[in-house]
Amino acid sequence: MKFLNIILIVFLFFPVCYSKAEEQDKRNKITKNLRCLVCQGQSVYDSDSEFANSLKILVDEKIKEGFSEKQIYDYFKEKYGDWILYDPGINKNTYVLWLLPLLIFLIGGAIIYKKFIKKI
């Protein structure tokens, strides 16, 4: 009986530990993506300002409440605007941003192929 109890405790404990590490990863990922608005060029993860610390607490709360990563980003975007996120995301404002370099890559490749390479 005692043995079973121990096993039970271990099993109950284990997922808590495991999900704690996961939570930590999620929290780190999110706070690295949030800009500290009162700092000059630091993420919330890096910063120790009052604003950043409060934000970190809020992120932890939201994770506990079960918010997904995207939901947390949306929550902060609503309060502070798109520019609190370091990852510009893909939306109507940023299609050009993401596609232009790739387009340049393709055009560069095409120019090189057409102009320079011996056609067999």
Partner 1 sequence: MIYSLIGYYSLILGLIIGISLFYFSYKNFNNSKILETKILSFTFLQFFFVVISFLCLIFSFIVSDFTNETVFNNSHTTKPLFYKISGTWGNHEGSLLLWLLVLTLFIFLFLLKTKNQPVKYKILTLVFQQIIIVGFFLFLIKTSNPFNFIFPTPTEGLGLNPILQDPALAIHPPILYLGYVGSSIIFSSVLAATSLKIISISWASHIKKWILISWIFLTLGILLGSIWAYYELGWGGFWFWDPVENVSLMPWLALTTLLHCILVLEKKSILTSWVIILSIATFTLSMCGTFLVRSGILNSVHTFANDPERGLFILVFLFILIFLSILIFFFFHKDSEKKSYNFFWLSKETSILVNNWFMMYFLSVILIGTVYPIFLDVISSQKISVGPPFYEKLITPFLIPFLIIMAIGPKLKWIKSQLEDKIYLISFFIISILLSFLILKNFSHNILINTILISSSLYLFFITFREFFTKKFKNISQNIAHFGFSLLILGILFNNLFSSEIITNLKVGESFENSKIKIVFESVKQKKEKNYNAIIANFYVSNSSGEVDRFSPELRIYNQPVIATSEADIKTTIMSDKFIVINLVQNQDFFNVRYQVKPFMLWIWLSVVLISFGGLLSFLQKKT
Partner 2 sequence: MKKKILPISIILIFGLIFIVFYKGLQDSNIYTPDANIKNDIPIFNTKDFYSDETINSFGFFKVDKNYLLNIWSSWCVPCRQEHKFLMVLNEENKINLIGLNYKDNKKKAKKFLDELGNPYNKVFVDLDGTIAIEWGAYGVPESYLILNNKIVKKYIGPLNQKSIDEIKLFIK
Nearest CB to partner 2, comparing residues 41 and 66: 41
Say how many CA atoms lie within 13 Å of 109 toward its Cβ: 6
DSSP 18: H
> Site mask, partner 2, residues 1-40, x = CB under 8 A?
------------------------------------xx--
Residues found in the chain: 120
Min dist. Cβ of residue 10 to partner 2 (A): 34
Decide: helix, strand or coil at residue 85: strand
- Whether 59 and 27 have beta carbons less than 8 Å apart is answered as yes
42, 58, 60, 75: which one binds partner 1 (CB under 8 A):
42
Q: Rule CB under 8 A: which residues touch partner 1? A: 32-33, 35, 40-43, 46, 48, 50, 53, 81-88, 93-94, 96-98, 100-102, 104-105, 108-109, 112, 115-118
